[in-house]
């Protein structure tokens, strides 16, 4: 310990030369870009919005915030914000009704940029058991979703695993989705122009732009 302190002092004074200086630089200096450093800070200081929709909203504090074993404090995201203007992460926990969808979208639009959204549970991801006219069949129908966590409710491990996946995406190194792994591009509803078999011109253009972005 004392030896390292002396070497740090000599480095600050400019007394190190030759091989000692090269070794000290290799051990102490880390080279990166400003964007990577900024995204690393964003990934480890998310401000979630205190927001819930249905029964998964009761499970979310147990799974992610309040329990001693599974908590977001280790990721720097325990500072929940009651105002969307102070939050950059929204967790949709529960079913989204048709009447509630515009409210959720307004909250999302009021959040800070850059912002992210997690769809927690089967109901917010795909409608779940509520296959009827009153419930939106997936939150990605009316707002962008960065991550889907399946389950009814999801296990705490699944939620934390999804949060680490979101961190990878924020830092600019997202994990491959199943479409990329299995080369299943073209199966998206928006790419096929909705329920029609032939893609619309806008859908085909957006699909090609997304593929070019993934290839890059």
The whole-model pTM stands at: 0.69
- What does the pLDDT look like over 107-132, one tens digit per residue? 998 988 888 899 988 888 888 888 88
**Any idea of the CA torsion for 79, 85, 91, 93, to the nearest 10 degrees?**
110
- What one-character-per-residue DSSP string does 113-170 give? SS-EEEEESHHHHH-TT--STTB-S-GGGTS--SEEE-SSSPPHHHHHHHHHHHHHHH
| 156 contacts 62 by C-beta, under 8 angstroms | yes
pLDDT at 132: 86
Only one residue has tokens 């515009």, namely 102
- What does the pLDDT look like over 153-195, one tens digit per residue? 888 888 888 888 888 888 887 776 766 777 766 666 555 555 5
Q: Quickly state the pLDDT bin for 71 (edges 50, 70, 90).
A: confident
Question: What's the Rg (C-alpha) of the chain?
Answer: 22
Only one residue has tokens 């850059």, namely 114
As a whole number of angstroms, the distance between CA 42 and CA 171 comes to 8
Tokens of 13: 């004074």
């Amino acid at each position: 310990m004392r030896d390292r302190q002396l070497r740090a002092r000599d480095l600050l004074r400019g007394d190190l030369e030759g091989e000692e200086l090269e070794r000290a630089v290799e051990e102490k200096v880390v080279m990166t870009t400003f964007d990577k450093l900024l995204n690393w800070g964003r990934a480890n200081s998310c401000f979630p919005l205190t927001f819930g929709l249905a029964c998964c909203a009761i499970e979310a504090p147990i799974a992610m915030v309040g329990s001693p074993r599974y908590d977001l404090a280790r990721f720097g995201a325990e500072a929940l914000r009651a105002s969307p203007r102070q939050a950059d992460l929204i967790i949709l926990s529960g079913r989204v009704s048709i009447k509630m969808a515009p409210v959720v979208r307004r909250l999302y639009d009021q959040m800070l940029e850059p912002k992210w959204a997690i769809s927690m549970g089967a109901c917010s991801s795909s409608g779940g058991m509520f296959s009827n006219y009153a419930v939106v069949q997936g939150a990605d129908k009316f707002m962008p979703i960065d991550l889907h966590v399946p389950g009814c409710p999801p296990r705490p491990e699944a939620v934390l695993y999804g949060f680490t996946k979101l961190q990878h995406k924020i830092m600019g190194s997202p994990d491959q989705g199943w479409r990329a792994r299995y080369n299943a591009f073209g199966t998206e509803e928006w790419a096929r122009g909705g329920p029609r078999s032939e893609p619309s011109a806008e859908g085909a253009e957006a699909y090609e732009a997304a593929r070019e972005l993934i290839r890059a």
